[in-house]
Structure 1
Amino acid sequence: MSLTSALLDPILRAAPARPLITFYDDATGERIELSAVTTANWVAKAANLLRDECDVEPGGRVAVLLPAHWQTASVLLAAWSCGAEVVGEPADADWVLCDRDRLDLALAAAPSGGLLALSLDAFGRGIDGLPDGVIDFATEVRLHGDEFAPWSPVPLSDPALGGLSADDLLARARSRAADLGLDAGSRVLSVKDWSAREDLVDGLLAVLAAGGSLVQVAHPDQTRLERKYESERCTTRL
């Protein structure tokens, strides 16, 4: 069982149609809501892309230079589905996943595998004018299936995030869920950006480990957060 399976499978069994990730961008007015099933489908598509096009497999290293976003959650879980370790430094990675703003940083790292660029566009548009060899995520991911099965077992003892094994990361997520009082009925409003490991654990993994759901807000308008908290029937703030 991969880390991704350990996090998502209980939710898919218990409440597949329930909203799992609701994403707001207050700068653009974007709102998108993904059920557990839809999230799992995106994770599977991204995992198939990473494995089939990028040769990401157990022991591979992936750097994710992306903001907190529903697509970021999908590619993180996809990397763990493949058995890859998510590393903090792009120079240490085989593949780097980045947005347009971090493309120059990713190119400078010259990863041995290559680059995947994510537009994070709400309508699925890709990025025009990418340098040769850079894969446009939005264009390629839609070509891949929405079910994923690894070619070989993905042991939880393998590294998953910054040297932590998947087992250790899962235990930390469950521990933080307990510390934060999260359970399957929790709906968490968060503005954490996931750039630090602790924020990623609290802001995404602990929510999933508890079986709860996440309302993630980018570029938050502080005057509208309370209204979101009430309208989305949230129970916890991060």
Structure 2
Amino acid sequence: MTAIDRTPADLLRSALASDPARPLVTFYDDATGERVELSVATFANWVAKTANLLQGDLAAEPGDRVAILLPAHWQTAAWLLACASVGVVAEIGGDPAGADIVVSGPDTLEAARGCSGERVALALRPLGGRFPQPPEGFMDYAVEVPSQGDRFAPFAPVDPEAPALRVAGSEFTGLQLVERAVGDSEALGLTAGSRLLSGLSYDSWEGLASGLYAPLAAGGSVVLCRHLDRLSEEALAERVKGERVTSTVR
């Protein structure tokens, strides 16, 4: 974090300027055996493409609300930073009926159909794969995002005092989110180069902080684990050692 970081998108820009090659998100799915590692530069590229999809193809504007019906996943992290880049409000587990846009995983498609606006579906398959058959009424993220631009510029400046995130009944502005992420990173003892392993879901602030925002604010990285309960303690210890984990939250 730098003194001028006032939104989550600012945190990512600072990380990109500081050390684009370092790992930022390492993702494991212990139900499928998937492992994906994204450097700051690669993650920022996904964020830029997703933000361009949001702003361009989906016509999202600052203040719009995006219901995010996704688990803790590297693509969810990219959507959170893309929302922050555009200036829309990311609502984790939000009501699709009250949202302008809904972003759904494969297990929440029926609930997502309650959105009368744009609907985006993510297959959450290894390597960002597409649906074998696109869900009716949804844009397949994996089909649409690759052609988006690698650079993103918002049509209007993002207001750090405007709402940016809603989770578990609490709403945060971009500035509040950054300040809280910094505070949590300090409470967790994170510094530049720290590797935090998180097995928490994204349905709470604690899960979002440990699984994305706090490591980003500290200049560290996250080892984000989905279905961690399927891993034995011995296998977890091996992962902690192999990934050079410095802190664990689960």
Contact kept, 8 Å, 1:189 with 1:234, in 2: the verdict is: yes
Q: Which residue of 218, 222, 226 corresponds with 2:232?
A: 222
Structure 2: stretches of 5+ with no match in the other structure: none
For the residues of structure 1 that align with 2:128 and 2:194, how far apart are their CA atoms? 29
Structure 1: stretches of 5+ with no match in the other structure: none
Instruction: Report the Cα offset of residue 190 of structure 1.
Output: 0.9
Instruction: Report the Cα offset of residue 9 of structure 1.
Output: 1.7
For the residues of structure 2 that align with 1:164 and 1:125, how far apart are their CA atoms? 32
Instruction: Report the Cα offset of residue 191 of structure 1.
Output: 0.5
The 10-residue stretch of structure 1 (172-181 or 117-126) with the greater mean CA deviation from structure 2:
117-126
- Quote the RMSD (CA, aligned, Å): 1.5
Report 1:96-135 matches (<5 A): 96-107=102-113, 109=114, 111-135=115-139
For the residues of structure 1 that align with 2:39 and 2:179, how far apart are their CA atoms? 25
Runs of 4+ in structure 1 off by over 6 angstroms are none
The match for 1:38 is 42
Report 1:117-196 matches (<5 A): 117-162=121-166, 163-196=171-204
Instruction: Report the Cα offset of residue 105 of structure 1.
Output: 1.0
For the residues of structure 2 that align with 1:157 and 1:66, how far apart are their CA atoms? 26
For the residues of structure 2 that align with 1:131 and 1:235, how far apart are their CA atoms? 41
Equivalenced residues, count: 236
For the residues of structure 2 that align with 1:199 and 1:129, how far apart are their CA atoms? 32
Question: So what's the TM-score if we normalise by structure 2?
Answer: 0.90
In structure 2, the CA distance between the partners of 1:131 and 1:34, relative to structure 1 (3 Å rule), is closer
For the residues of structure 2 that align with 1:128 and 1:113, how far apart are their CA atoms? 24
The match for 2:86 is 82
Q: Which residue of 25, 48, 54 corresponds with 1:50?
A: 54
Q: Among the aligned pairs, what percent are the same residue?
A: 47
Superposed CA deviations along residues 65-124 of structure 1, whole A, max 9, x for unmatched, are 1111111100111111110011233232111101110001111x2x23221000111133
In structure 2, the CA distance between the partners of 1:51 and 1:74, relative to structure 1 (3 Å rule), is same
Superposed CA deviations along residues 163-192 of structure 1, whole A, max 9, x for unmatched, are 311111111111111111111121011101
The match for 1:93 is 99
For the residues of structure 1 that align with 2:153 and 2:181, how far apart are their CA atoms? 24
The match for 2:33 is 29
The 10-residue stretch of structure 1 (81-90 or 133-142) with the greater mean CA deviation from structure 2:
81-90
